[in-house]
Homo-oligomer: A and B are copies of this chain.
Amino acid sequence: MLYTMFKVPDHQVAGHQACDGVLGPLIDDSGNFYKPLQSDDRGSKEVAFYTSFSSNTNIPNHIRRFFPKFNGTQLIEASDGSGMHPHLVLQDVVSSRLNPSVIDIKIGSRTWYPQASEDYIQRCLKKDRETTGLTLGFRISGLRIYKNERSGFWKPDRNVIRKFTAEDVRLVLRQFVSSNSPSDSGLDPDCSFASTVYGGSGGILAQLLELKEWFEHQTMFHFCSCSVLMVYEKESVLNERSSNAEVKLVDFAHVVEGKGVIDHNFLGGLCSLIKFISEILPCSDEHTAKASLQDPKKNYFNTNCDTKK
């Protein structure tokens, strides 16, 4: 049996990080991400979701690729050395990447679900109202933008992110695809990577639109409090003019049964994010992103260009 080296990932931008007795995730060299099962029923609910999802034959392959691969659960030594603890074994979505820029966006103006406890509902509602969740239909919950070899990453503090306004969100989505420094607040982001990262047939906008199409008719799951992760590498853009930009869905501790109804809460938030991102793209790039879909919403983007530019 081979010995597996576990280490603490340095690319994680949101979610449960090791602190004050809370277990953090681990990674190995084989591209696995070990997420400790949360001790209340969230852990078992997330396992239940991954188990059900991975065996569900109604998920088309072009949608399945947006979810981290699930490799079961495993009992391993916890990140704080406190003993053995069960972990979800997932695909590490950034393992193959050098200096990935990552943004974690929690989707939905409502992060609670009707079946939850009153206490939980009130806590979520408060957070939804205090952040941009309620007004924008999504909120940024984590962020890590690569600057350059010398300066490393810009990774604002959680408490800073939590206070983001609608204008901050707009700015960050531009900074995410800019070549100039995101931490220099005096600088207007140049958005020079927008058409490579957000636009194009394999870009983030095209991927989000593919997800949207699925959410318009899937009624199996409601993804409460789930995040869209957007990942790319600045160096790939500079060297290869390709971003390998990728969209992943993560965090399924609060997925509930759809019971024949679409996830209108997630879909609404996703459409709002799509609108924000499409506004950063020059019109011609939007068209490229759209043209790659089987379903070109020409009218939508024409209107956009006519009125905005």
A residues near B (Cβ < 8 Å) are 58, 60, 109-110, 114, 125, 129, 134-137, 166, 213, 216-217, 219, 259-262, 264-265, 267-269, 271-272, 275, 294-300, 303-304, 307
Contact = CB atoms under 8 A, between A and B. Distances in A.
A267 B261 contact: no
B219 A261 contact: no
B259 A264 contact: no
A216 B297 CA distance: 11
Contacts of A259: 166
A217 to B, nearest CB: 6
Nearest to A279: B260
A282 to B, nearest CB: 16
Contacts of A109: 110, 264-265
Nearest to A212: B216
Contact of A262 (B271, B294, B303): B271
Given A267-B268, A294-B298, A304 B217 contact: yes
B264 A213 contact: no
A304 B275 CA distance: 26
A33 to B, nearest CB: 30
B213 A300 contact: yes
Given A114-B134, A268-B268, A295-B300, A261 B213 contact: no
Contact of A264 (B60, B268, B298, B307): B268
A300 B216 contact: yes
Contact of A272 (B261, B295, B303): B261
B58 A297 contact: no
Contacts of A269: 264, 268
Given A216-B275, A268-B268, A268-B269, 4 more contacts: A261-B272, A265-B268, A295-B295, A295-B296
Contact of A297 (B114, B134, B135, B213): B213
Given A58-B307, A295-B297, A295-B300, A219 B265 contact: no
